[in-house]
Amino acid sequence: MNPRFVVAKVTGAIGTLAFVLAFNFFLFRVVDDNPVDNLFRGRNLSPTQIASLEERFGVGDPLALQFVKYVRQTLQGDLGLSIKSSRPVSDVIMDSLWPTVWLVGTATALSMVIGTLLGIHAAWKRGTVTDSSATAFSMITYSMPDFWMAMVLLAAFAINLRWFPTGGFEDAGSTATGLSAFLDQAHHMALPAITLTLGYIGEYMILMRASMLDTVSEDYLQLARAKGLRDTEVRRRHAVPNALLPLVSLSALNFGYVLSGAIAVEAIYSWPGLGRATFNALEGPDFPVLQGLFLLFSASVIVANLLADLLNGYLDPRVRLS
């Protein structure tokens, strides 16, 4: 791959991340320049106590000095202290990271595989019942709000049929370990994962179907058929590999969105991930936690976009030459 292409993309990503870092700092200072005043108003604190709290939460210095400290601490992995719990923000985020990666990562992977397969079969059998059924199903699930779908599935399969737990990460008071603990957590995750998978399938199916329809009209597929290849071989060896390229960017970006969690779905199912952590921080509001979460979400999308650009450049020479 052309080094100039790689350097340009990496430089652009670093510049974007630097802008997000600065914007993230000033955004929350505009919303609430001194959370200590708002949180402890009316408590008759002495000037010494107020100064101690401002120092603790890093809001007692002039704005320029706060920004310098913020950048330095962020580069060192220090995201400040939570106003609600007085815990390091990085600890709050790390406690919620694995549940979100497990839930949203699983849903993203499942929807990518299922949606891609549906798109392939729908395009290959264009105009048939298979095509219309797959397209209708994908459009319906894609257009449904995820919180509404979560509530419907929760009422149907957790409350009425009682096939799944109504929420949480594991059974209350559970002391299970090893495989038993994993199965318990997987049982709790099943319904929110199904909810997210249904919501994500549509975009993969629609994009893959459109890409396949563009590919099946190409002359090289007719040539492959003329050489005597069976229809299934033409699809598997020629049509599908070329049609998959547009899904590279979508897949990479969606995996970048994994860390942002699914706020509504995690809140409805009481799933202790980053989405629920965001919901809890908004209730406070706990601005240091929100600031740390938004920075993490932005960084994950920027990195995913960079990887998508580099992978596209590697797979398609036209991209890196443009």
Token pair in block for residue 153: 């599935």
Token pair for residue 245? 């390229």
- pLDDT tens for the 322 residues of the chain, in order: 667 878 888 899 999 999 999 888 888 776 655 666 556 555 566 667 666 666 666 666 677 887 888 888 888 888 888 877 888 889 999 998 889 888 888 998 899 899 988 988 888 888 888 889 988 988 898 888 888 999 999 999 999 988 988 888 877 767 767 788 888 888 889 999 999 999 889 888 988 888 887 776 666 666 666 666 676 766 666 666 777 777 777 777 777 777 766 788 888 888 888 888 888 888 767 788 888 998 988 888 888 888 888 877 776 665 555 5
Question: What is the pLDDT, as a whole number, of residue 307?
Answer: 84
Residue 40 phi, psi dihedral angles, 5° rounding: -115, 20
Q: Can you tell me the distance from the alpha carbon of 151 to that of 160, in angstroms, rounded to the nearest whole number?
A: 12
List, in order, residues 6 or more apart from 255 with CB less than 8 Å away: 105, 108, 304
d(CA 129, CA 154): 31
Q: What per-residue confidence (pLDDT) applies to 56?
A: 65
Query: At residue 228, what are phi and psi to the nearest 5 degrees?
Result: 100, 5
pTM of the model: 0.79
Contacts (Cβ under 8 Å, ≥6 apart) of 74 = 21, 295
Task: Please compute, for residue 31, the number of CA atoms within 13 A of its CA located in the half-sphere on the CB side.
Answer: 13
Q: Rounded to an integer, what distance in angstroms lies between the CA atom of residue 300 and that of residue 306?
A: 10
Provide the CB-side half-sphere exposure for 182 (13 A, CA).
3
Place domain 92-285+297-314 in its CATH homologous superfamily. Answer: MetI-like (1.10.3720.10)
pLDDT at 167: 82
pLDDT of residue 6: 81
On the CB side of 271, CA atoms within 13 Å amount to 32
The residue assigned the tokens 């600065």 is: 22
- Please provide the distance, in angstroms rounded to a whole number, between the alpha carbons at the two ends of the chain: 13
Report the alpha-carbon distance of residue 253 to residue 58 in Å, rounded.
Answer: 34
- Give the alpha-carbon dihedral of 142, 148, 149, 151, to 10 degrees: 170
Predicted local confidence at residue 194, as pLDDT: 93
What would the two tokens of residue 233 be?
A: 């071989």
What are the structure tokens assigned to 118, written together?
């549906």
